[in-house]
Amino acid sequence: MALGYKFLDEIVAYLGMEKQAPPSIFFTDATRFPDKAGLSGWAPLVESSIVIHTLSVKNYISVDIYCCKEFDTTKAKRFVRKFFEPERIDERFIERGVDYNTYKKPQKQENFPASANS
């Protein structure tokens, strides 16, 4: 559990993101769910979240960086490789909220009182 917490805690700063709260780690009971034994962790971010899921029996980890702030995906992969030293990485990059960084708040409309002649 400490390794998952450390990963979530460190990758946030490494990618220049901001935590809303400390990471949370959850353990799946291997006795009740032997094929799902592992950890899940979540770091809530101002920009969205970073989530990990592991399956101990398969020596598997999934890392999801869900963020509406632009970030360097190469830097993120480099951090994951160094931290976990995986044999292989399957990656998917999906740009979400494509208008998020260009969204402009609508200007406040003036509310004029109705004229007496209307």
Residue-wise pLDDT tens digits, 4-35: 999 999 999 999 999 999 999 999 999 999 99
pLDDT along the chain (118 residues), means of 10: 93 95 95 93 94 92 89 94 92 77 65 58
Residue ranges covered by each domain of the chain: 2-98
Structure confidence at residue 47 (pLDDT) = 84
Structure confidence at residue 104 (pLDDT) = 66
Structure confidence at residue 80 (pLDDT) = 96
CA distance 97 to 90: 23
CA distance 101 to 99: 6
- Helix (H) or strand (E) holding 2, with range, is helix 2-14
Of 13, 41, 17, which Cα lies nearest the Cα of 27?
41
Q: Which fold has domain 2-98?
A: S-adenosylmethionine decarboxylase (3.60.90)
Q: How many CA atoms lie within 13 A of 63 on its CB side?
A: 20
| Edge-to-edge order in the sheet of strand 38-44 | 24-28, 38-44, 48-55, 60-67
Structure confidence at residue 100 (pLDDT) = 65
Structure confidence at residue 117 (pLDDT) = 57
